[in-house]
Structure 1
């Protein structure tokens, strides 16, 4: 047991994933698919698809979205990073992170916010909500 001077356990109390998601999401405003689409059309946001390749192959891609695997996200979007994507132009960039259903993207957006991308958010419902709204999707074959 980690005990401090007062004889009290000083370790943080563990939280479950549902509580963690609630806490993370309380720290920023998430965005609906239609709003994200319109903002992207106007150049006001950078859509970032973090789904893994098998899901992109199965379900398709959002035209114009930057594809970055989740395990590379922070390195590719850190404006100060040596491995940043050309689109990572500054900390004021409004990034909309998109996963499959809108769960992993919340944690990813929080991670970007910790890097100083204070306008980072995620798509409510993820790619599946985007597609259900009838918003543009292309197949991998169409992108090549």
Structure 2
């Protein structure tokens, strides 16, 4: 199986959301999680209020039962919106979060670039 097939299979297991839906979800208590690496965050900015967790730490920081969890990782029922740069790596990250029991995890279609293109807030 190639990466395109893998992405299709992974994405068929949950509903992805767009920038406006992600912003609305955050306003209702969802946790936006930015998994972009530091160079991209420095270059393009940050989504206000998003938790920054590099991809290699994601599972440890979001597992509500983990010893290294972020304070925001309060339950398996927490709605989490994973955001990468363009919406590819985030889909694979969501699959991993689902395996940890974070059944409401989803990702942002088009990633940070879609957020910014939609004219939503970005901190430099």
Coarse TM-score class (shorter-chain normalised) = over 0.9
Superposed CA deviations along residues 87-112 of structure 1, whole A, max 9, x for unmatched, are 00000010000000000000001100
Aligned mates of 1:119, 1:46 — CA distance in 2: 11
Considering Cα pairs closer than 8 Å and 6+ residues apart, tell me whether 1 or 2 has the greater RCO: 2
Deviations 1:64-123 (A, max 9, x none): 000000000000000010000000000001000000000000000110000000000000
- Deviates further, 31-40 or 123-132: 31-40
Q: Which residue of 1 aligns with 2:28?
A: 42
CA-CA distance at 1:32 after TM superposition = 0.6
Q: 1:22 is matched with which residue? A: 8
Match of 1:89 in 2: 74
SS at match of 2:33: strand
Query: Bigger radius of gyration, 1 or 2?
Result: 1
Provide the rounded CA distance (Å) in 2 between the counterparts of 1:88 and 1:127. Answer: 21
Answer yes or no: is 1:73 the counterpart of 2:55. no
SS across alignment from 1:31: coil
Cα distance between partner residues in 1 of 2:17 and 2:95: 14
Runs of 4+ in 1 over 6 A off after TM superposition: none
Unmatched segments (≥5 aa) in structure 1: 1-14, 140-144
- TM-score scaled to structure 1, two decimals? 0.85
Residue 42 of structure 1 and its aligned partner are, at CA, apart by 2.6
Residue in 1 that maps onto 2:84: 99
The TM-score with structure 2 as length reference comes to 0.99
Which consecutive residues of structure 2, in runs of 5 or more, have no partner in the other structure? none
